[in-house]
């Protein structure tokens, strides 16, 4: 029997072909569960990150590459290689994945506060934490290094049915929208947030926002892309989730 990741790889390919997105040097990047499906289903806390798009390579400003999956890259990661996925020194998205790691670790360990970002120096342990979560993108094709927001709505329309089916089938009970909630708010109809927290993000000279919603047994978090989450932002997310779980 096919796993959920395998099932969605087929659907992703079908959608990409239907919309003429696949080229000789451009193929989907497959997302979903980062670890074992059977273990995921046993977990009391099932975290899903919903992000915009992944990227691979760029040639003359145009995306190319793909044809690989997050799950397989993490499963095959060689921590002795200084460029191992996703935390290698030369990885372009290293900081994005580190913040995904920090938040996910804190939630899974039911922490309200992390003393500092260096909570885990064991590379294998870092990967093992990621294997307990899922990560999906609104667009399944490699994108430019910097997402062009004006193009994102059209990309979402291509992939909307696949993405919504992923959310339903993987059945997470904590969903973190990293700069993507605006695309889902009318679909999900969650109403007003039950909790909101703000702080001044000095790095970006702007307020950092975390808004939380709850429907049935699922917590929905609307916050910024993980690359923009500071250490203080990590703790805001952990505190707001801990507060909701106490009730």
CATH number at residue 195: 3.40.470.10
Q: How far is CA 29 from CA 13, 63, 70, 200, in A?
A: 10, 12, 8, 34
pLDDT of residue 202: 45
Q: How confident is the model at residue 207 (pLDDT cuts 50, 70, 90)?
A: low
DSSP code string of 89-125: TT-TTHHHHHHHHHHHHHHHTT-S--S-S-S---HHH
Question: Pairing state of beta strands 62-64 and 206-215?
Answer: unpaired
Is the pTM above the cut of 0.75? yes
| The total number of structural domains that make up the chain | 1
Q: Lowest mean pLDDT: which of 72-81, 109-118, 166-175?
A: 109-118
Q: Mean pLDDT over residues 236-242, rounded?
A: 92
pLDDT value of residue 111? 92
Of the listed ranges 64-73, 117-126, 184-193, the least confidently predicted one is 117-126
Give the dihedral of Cα atoms 242, 243, 244, 247; nearest 10 deg. 120
How does the average pLDDT of the chain come out, rounded? 90
Only one residue has tokens 């900081």, namely 95
Given a cut of 60, whether residue 204 has pLDDT beyond it is: no
Region 209-219 average pLDDT: 92
Using pLDDT thresholds of 50, 70 and 90, give the confidence band for residue 91: confident
- In this prediction, residue 206 carries a pLDDT of 57
The range of the structural domain enclosing residue 170 comes to 4-246
Which whole-number Å values give the CA distances from 70 to 66, 76, 172, in the listed order? 11, 10, 18
Structure confidence at residue 116 (pLDDT): 67
Q: Is residue 203's pLDDT more than 50?
A: no
- Strand 134-139 relative to strand 32-33: parallel, antiparallel, unpaired? antiparallel
Residue 216 half-sphere exposure, CB side, CA atoms within 13 Å? 8
Average pLDDT over residues 183-201: 82
């Amino acid at each position: 029997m096919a796993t959920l990741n395998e099932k969605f790889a087929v659907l992703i390919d079908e959608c990409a072909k239907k919309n003429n997105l696949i080229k000789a040097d451009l193929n989907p990047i497959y997302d979903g569960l980062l670890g074992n499906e059977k273990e995921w289903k046993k977990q009391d806390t099932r975290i899903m990150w919903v992000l915009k798009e992944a990227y691979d390579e760029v040639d003359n400003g145009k995306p190319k590459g793909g044809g690989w999956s997050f799950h397989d890259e993490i499963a095959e990661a060689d921590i002795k290689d200084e460029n191992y996925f996703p935390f290698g020194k030369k990885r372009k998205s290293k900081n994005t994945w580190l913040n995904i790691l920090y938040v996910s670790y804190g939630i899974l360990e039911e922490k309200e506060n992390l003393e500092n970002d260096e909570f885990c120096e064991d590379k294998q342990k870092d990967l093992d934490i990621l294997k307990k979560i899922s990560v999906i993108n609104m667009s399944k094709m490699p994108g430019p290094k910097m997402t062009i927001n004006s193009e994102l709505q059209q990309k979402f329309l291509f992939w909307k049915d696949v993405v919504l089916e992923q959310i339903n089938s993987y059945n997470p009970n904590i969903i973190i929208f990293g700069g993507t909630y605006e695309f889902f708010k009318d679909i999900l109809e969650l109403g007003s947030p039950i909790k909101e927290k703000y702080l001044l993000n000095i790095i970006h000279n702007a307020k950092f926002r975390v808004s939380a919603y709850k429907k049935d047994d699922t917590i929905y978090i609307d916050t910024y892309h993980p690359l923009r989450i500071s250490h203080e932002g990590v703790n805001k997310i952990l505190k707001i989730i801990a507060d909701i779980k106490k009730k």
